[in-house]
Amino acid sequence: MGLRPVLLHRRIAGIASTSMALVLGVATVGLLPAATTAASPAAAAVVADEHCEDPTGTAARVRGDAVVKHDPNELTMAQLHQREAEFADLLQERAKRVGQRTLSAQAAAASVTIPVVVHVIRRDTTRAGGNIPDSMIQSQINVLNQSFAGATGGAATAFAFQLQSINRVTNTAWYPIRQGTSAERQMKTQLRQGNKATLNIYLGELSNGLLGWATFPQSTLNVMDGVVVLSESLPGGTATNYNQGDTGTHEVGHWLNLYHTFQGGCSGQGDQVADTPAEASPAYQCPTGRDTCSSPGLDPITNFMDYTFDSCMYQFTPGQATRMINAWNTYRA
- Say how far apart CA 234 and CA 130 lie, in whole Å: 12
Beta bridge partners of 117: 165, 200
Amino acid at 273: V
CA angle 109, 252, 104 (to 5 degrees): 20
Catalytic residue, candidates 50, 184, 251, 279: 251
DSSP 8-class letter at 315: B
CA separation for the pair 204, 101 (Å, rounded): 44
Ramachandran quadrant class, 282 (left: phi over 0; alpha: psi -120 to 50; beta: rest): beta
Angle, vertex CA 27, rays to CA 94 and CA 30, nearest 5: 140
**Ranges of H-type helices in 128-213:** 134-148, 182-191
Confirm whether 251 is a catalytic residue.
yes
Nearest one of 200, 208, 217, 141 to 177, comparing CA atoms: 208
Q: Cα 128–224–21 angle (5° rounding)?
A: 35
> Among all residues, which ones are annotated catalytic?
251
